[in-house]
Chains A and B, each alone.
Chain A
Amino acid sequence: MAVSQNDARARLTEALIRTGDEDRAAFRDLYALTSAKLFGICLRICGERQAAEDVLHEVYLTVWRRAGAFEPGRASPITWLATIARNRAIDWRRANGRRPSLSMEHAAEIPDAAPLASETMEADEESHTLHHCLDGLEDRQRVAIRTAFFDGLTYAEIAERDSVPLGTMKSWVRRGLARLKECLDR
């Protein structure tokens, strides 16, 4: 299990590095390995397929141009790629003045528990610690932090969606983040 995870990561790292050298076959390989993950990110934040596909197009253009700047020692390849996708999708939503999609139900689609094997594999212990520390928060703090991450929402947007005064929302989240930090630093 751990071996195949490491293999997958090695293969992805190699595809990304070779993409940085403008290797077209490596770029296709990279797309095959990562497009479902990155599209999942774009789709959730953009809230519509067409926009999400357009953003995904932008994301892979960015990856093609910036792959040479990827530093294997600093981040896992999937984290590097997922971060670009999330940032691009958020930029799109804000540039287009889109309101975040409204249903809190679809927030429930993201599983609560840590997966058995961590894809990012920065350090499995870190992963368990983050999930463990999130579990230690109050529900409303955990939900707000997860919403910010998975839906790409700002304080103002989360407060509006939950019909909570902005100041109250900030207070909850700040204290939640402080507690999270305390737990992570332990």
Chain B
Amino acid sequence: MSDDLPAGPEPDMAAAELALGLLDGEERAAALRRVLAEPGFAGEVERWRFYLAQLFDLWPEAAPAGDVLARVERTIHGGRARPAWAWPAAAAGASAIAASLLVVLLFRPMPVMGPVQQPTVAARAAPMLVAAIVPSAKGDMVKAVYDPGSGMVRLTAASLAGAGKSAELWVIAGDGVPHSLGVLPKGEGMAMPVRQDMRPMMAAGSVLAVSIEPEGGSTTGAPTGPVVATGALSAV
């Protein structure tokens, strides 16, 4: 039996593709939108993860260097040692739209939330990440820029939530689970720090999503309202 000549349309295997990690860019963002919007699809992804997890049994073991545990314990219990890998210099190919977003954001003054220092625009080693968070219905696109050097994410003005509601920003990385970055203030641009333990999720290919939540944000730790805008982070 040969599969060389496909008969009819290709099967929709997006749930399996997402669970395996085959997708990138817009295809991945689209599949993540479906996870948020379609419980049936989310269940299907979960089922594939469950099946595929059997393959972990086959994975060969390897002994790490003896000092890794000590390093982990130092980071947890004492000191504030940064992981050695941080974010190296290699900036991936910049797309024109990403670069233009960066220009828009870097040169637009914005209020800073909380006791954080202004990110510097000087030469830096780590690549900036940008995302165009596009509403699924009408409304303005929100542009986001993340600076791994300062750990700050900056966003343009958003008016996605109506009265009595809040727009909450989420990041979805490799685990496919939305993690809250915070509530967006109405009608103004902002800069906010990303929590230390969430910074590794702010990577090229991760998706930023905005959901509509009760005033003040979701109380469950997961989005409870509709996801109204999404966009993938890319390096510039």
Contact = CB atoms under 8 A, between A and B. Distances in A.
- Are both chains from one complex? yes
A84 B175 contact: yes
Given A61-B76, A120-B53, A148 B21 contact: yes
Q: Is the interface of A mostly helix, strand, loop or mixed?
A: helix
> Which one of B10, B51, B65 has the greatest number of beta carbons of chain A within 10 Å?
B51
B149 interface: no
Q: Is the interface of B mostly helix, strand, loop or mixed?
A: loop
Nearest to B221: A69
Contact of B11 (A56, A158, A174): A174
A18 B39 CA distance: 32
Contact of A154 (B23, B68, B197): B23
A184 to B, nearest CB: 6
Given A87-B175, A175-B3, A96 B24 contact: no
A110 B3 contact: no
A40 B92 contact: no
> Which one of B20, B173, B203 has the greatest number of beta carbons of chain A within 10 Å?
B20
A62 interface: yes
Interface stretch (B29-37, B55-63, B132-140, B154-162): B55-63
Nearest to A130: B54
Interface string B48-80: 011111111111111111001101110111000
Interface in B69-124: 69, 71-73, 75-77, 83-85, 87-88, 90-92
Contacts of A119: 56-57
Contact of B75 (A50, A61, A118, A130): A61
Interface residues of A, number: 80
B56 A43 contact: no
B174 interface: yes
Contact of B68 (A56, A84, A110, A120): A56
Interface of B: 3, 6, 10-11, 13, 16-17, 20-24, 49-65, 68-69, 71-73, 75-77, 83-85, 87-88, 90-92, 173-175, 197, 200-201, 203-206, 235
